[in-house]
A and B are shown apart, each in its own frame.
Chain A
Amino acid sequence: MTQRAFTPMILALLVTTLGFATLIFVQEAASPPLIYGAYYAGTLFVLYLGVRILLPHSDVLLLPIVTLLTGIGLVMIFRLTYDVQGAQNLAMTQAVWILIGSGTMFLLVLFFRDYDRIFDYKYLLAIAAVFLIASTFTPLGYTVNGARLWVDLGPVSFQPSEFARIALVVFFAGYLAEKRDVLAATSRSFLGVELPAIKYFGPVALVWAASLGLLVFEKDLGSSLLFFAVPLLMLYAATGRIAYILLGGVLFSFGSFVSFLLFAHVQVRVQSWLDPWKDPDGTGFQILQSIFNIADGGLLGTGLGAGFAQTIPEVETDFVFSAIASELGLLGATAVLLAFLAFTYRGTKIALLAEDDASKLLAFGLTAMFALQTLIIVGGVTKAIPLTGITLPFVSYGGSSVVGNFILTGLLLLVSERAGKREAEGRAYNRDEPWGAP
């Protein structure tokens, strides 16, 4: 566990400052009110100090990575919207969301140091998650770009699935830790694949199917993919049975095929992935503009402010990575991907060092969700896989996504605190092996 990350914090804030300075110099853009920049830097720095004090043994290196990613996100959102009618204030709104996310995370580390108590409420969380997702079907929900993902609560609107998925990871972690032994044991086999008892598998499958089903009908393909894959990986980690992955693969192929036949929007996505040139001004437009922009960047990028990423619809949310690849080039985009990989690596390490099964599965599930989300959206905008609308964690514009990912980071910090503390105590008692090492 890295317990001090002062220099990385300063570096991350400097990168953000440099980005804004460049934009203001190059685009002759009016500087956004400096007070926002001060708030942003101050908030994240106070958050860092707070975590250092409250969770002195936690893996605090996650915070400079979060700072770097949110900073790059702010720079790109400002760059893409500063002169766009009706969207000039998006960067400031995002800064406010980062502030709210930081606040949420601060409250989390302040009050949830005994985080494992939430595993006692896992069924409640699962039900809450399903209801959250289902809430978009109430009159409060509304549709954006064909997907019904939003709930309007008067002053704010949010995407419930961004929070529901964290609740579900908590549920799966708690449940799988409890039942992993019986799930690993097999009671019967089907077509040569050994299956666990329905009794134990039931709740997992039920929650899984319910959330997945709802999301499919909401046309939220990206979230569906995440909700499908993350529990599967957690099941694999808990039981070590590759059969689950294989079974999942079969189910996935079947599900994809059925939804391809059933839903026009799935067909459009697949066709515009396979052959965007067929309709370059219609269904293929977005992905082609993304590819043109990425290619335009070349090795070193066009430079901040010199690209044409504004030609991509939804560039500040789902396609923000294309704008980064265009203006910062292969080198810059790879550096950003490395920051995501570093986060994934720290998350994995936290999972490896966590003391109990539930914490381990929680840290693993959250990390897997973070990594998969990055892979799915970046893979989508680079045409490596069909495009499914989903945000790039911390970078894309979007309040729910930002706050959700701050909560995710907060939970990882909490898990790491306990492992780090035990490690420290182990050192203090001069023991070779920490207690109960798995």
Chain B
Amino acid sequence: MNAHVRRTFYLFVAGFVGLVVMLAYWQVYSREALANNPQNGFQTQRSISSPRGLILAGDGETVLAKSVKHHTPTGPVYDRVYPLGAPFSNVVGYWSPRYGATGIEIGNNTDLSSVAGEPQTLDDLINRATGGPQPGNNVVLTLDPGLQKLAYQELQGSSTGRGSVVALNPKTGEILAMASSPSFDPNNIDENYPKIAADPGDPLINRATQSLYPPGSVFKVITAAAALESGVSPQDTFFDSGAYKLPGYTVHNFQGEHFGKVTFTKALAYSINVVFAKIAVNIVGAKALSQMAVNFGFGDPYDDFPIPVSGSSVNSLPPGQWTTGTLAQTAFGQGEVQTNAFQMALVAAAVGNDGKLMQPRLVREVRSPDGIILDKPTPSVRRQAIPADTARTLNEMMQQVIIQGPLPEAEIPGMKVAGKTGTAESGNGEPHSWWITFAPADDPKIAMCVMIENGGRADRGALPIAARLMKAYLTEGV
């Protein structure tokens, strides 16, 4: 009889092993799939019943987003609160169990959410094992809170109230300001979303990275870089008759001016379309110009950036198929050239940083709730846009834009400033107003691009705003 008893016991053992296998199937193998099943509401339920991490500005103190607890009959629920609201919402984004999330809230969700991702510290592991409170990790941004607020105010006060500002540290790639106007209040998004989404001003669009515009003459910096690389030197002279006739297209200067015999440096300082078109057509060529734009980041989708970026583009056709008219227009940033303040700020930064375009970064570090640094990216070179000596020459020429322009408003007492204007035909109303700049030009601490939609002439729209922001940052410490 004992043999039969023993055999039955083995059968039971097999049964228990089968149960463990079944458990492993659900808890390990199918876990993801079941968690994401639309019938499974646990993720949403958990996400509102535990606090998300803080989003902090670059000073490590200014709170941009936090979770605030309130009690409900079914237990504590956390609301997302954004103390500084609209000036930061294009970067920080909103978070809603109903309408999803945007910005850093979704870009760094794995860090911020207490439930996504694997435990990263011993405390976290213990908390999870015991079911203890599990706040998410804190994300510290690179944004300078003062500069960001000021930039947003300036945009709101601009002629159209529509535009964007991007400022970064050229040597580290840290974004110091990224403002977009109009913006929205991310607080109480669950109630306000329908109204915000229906707003004709498109406040949900982050104009700094997601919109694309013709850059106009700020693109001449790229054309100038291509020209220098093709052997043109700043002292080379060119003749400007005020017009440059090409098959099917004639180039004119801004407001019909003509300057006669000018050096290359002066051509940039006066932003002479005719000279740039001639250089592009006769010296640089479509291929080299297109390649130079790529060197500076055109065509790069910036997939690794935490918030969405629309990649800039020079033309829908490959350079081999451009007409001379297309090439001439491209040389001064018209035609099909499409870009935004994010990309053009990076161009300015790369010129100021000896041609090295640094990896743009919005996140300085990720910390656990008890302050342990979990992730701290180090500055890295994303691309060498141009050789260092070419960059220094171009830097010098961009300083002359302000000196010979002359654009006294852009000057900052006690330091050299480089810049370039852009007044781009928008095809619809007033031209877009652009200004890119960096300072101090010999050891830059900040590079900036200001772009005002339909803001008119560069020196009346974008430039004064940038000048105030640069001065505030460099001399007043905001």
Taking Cβ atoms with an 8 Å cutoff, the residues of A that contact B are 22, 25-26, 83, 233, 236-238, 240, 277, 280, 288, 291-308, 325, 327, 329-330, 333-334, 337-338, 340-341, 344-345, 348, 351-352, 357, 360-361, 364, 368, 371-372, 375, 378-379, 382-384, 438
Contact = CB atoms under 8 A, between A and B. Distances in A.
Interface stretch (B22-30, B81-89, B231-239): B22-30
B27 A299 contact: yes
Contact of B131 (A302, A338, A379, A438): A302
Contacts of B131: 22, 26, 302-307, 327
A228 to B, nearest CB: 15
A330 B45 CA distance: 22
Contacts of A25: 130, 132
B122 interface: no
Given A240-B1, A277-B39, 19 more contacts: A26-B132, A236-B8, A280-B39, A292-B40, A293-B42, A294-B23, A305-B131, A308-B42, A329-B27, A334-B20, A348-B8, A348-B9, A351-B5, A364-B5, A372-B12, A375-B12, A375-B15, A379-B15, A382-B19
Contacts of B40: 292
B19 A237 contact: no
B30 A348 contact: no
Nearest to B9: A348
A352 B2 CA distance: 6
Contacts of B301: none
A294 B26 CA distance: 7
Nearest to B30: A295
Interface residues of B, number: 40
Contact of A337 (B6, B19, B28): B19
A237 B1 contact: yes
B197 interface: no
Nearest to B12: A371
Interface of chain A: mostly helix, strand, loop or mixed: helix
B4 interface: yes
Given A240-B4, A337-B16, A344-B12, A295 B26 contact: yes
Contact of A240 (B3, B24, B27): B3
B16 A340 contact: yes
Given A22-B131, A238-B1, A301-B129, A292 B37 contact: yes
Contacts of B42: 292-293, 296, 308
Contacts of A83: 75
A234 to B, nearest CB: 9
B130 A303 contact: yes
Contact of A368 (B8, B28, B39): B8
Contacts of B374: none
Most buried by A among B1, B2, B3, B4: B1
Contacts of B26: 291, 294-295, 325, 382
Nearest to A285: B39
Nearest to A293: B42
Interface of chain B: mostly helix, strand, loop or mixed: helix
B16 A345 contact: no
Nearest to B39: A280
Contacts of B20: 330, 334, 337
A345 B9 contact: yes
A293 B37 CA distance: 12
B381 interface: no
14 contacts: A237-B8, A288-B39, A292-B34, A297-B27, A298-B31, A303-B129, A304-B131, A345-B9, A348-B6, A348-B9, A360-B2, A368-B8, A382-B26, A438-B1
A45 to B, nearest CB: 26
A233 B45 CA distance: 46
Interface in B112-144: 127-134
B68 interface: no
B16 A299 contact: no
A296 to B, nearest CB: 5
B415 interface: no
A384 B1 contact: no
Given A288-B39, A295-B30, A300 B128 contact: yes
Contacts of A345: 9
B426 to A, nearest CB: 53
A196 B326 CA distance: 101
Contacts of B45: 308
Most buried by B among A294, A295, A371, A382: A295
B18 interface: yes
Nearest to B128: A303
A438 B5 CA distance: 13
A295 B8 contact: no
Closest 3 CB pairs of A and B: A303-B131, A306-B131, A295-B34
A333 B27 CA distance: 11
A379 B27 contact: no
Nearest to A236: B4
Contacts of B8: 233, 236-237, 348, 364, 368
A302 B39 CA distance: 19
Contacts of A300: 128-129
B13 interface: yes
A12 to B, nearest CB: 19
B130 A330 contact: no
Contact of A303 (B5, B12, B127): B127
Given A304-B131, A325-B23, A327-B131, A295 B35 contact: yes
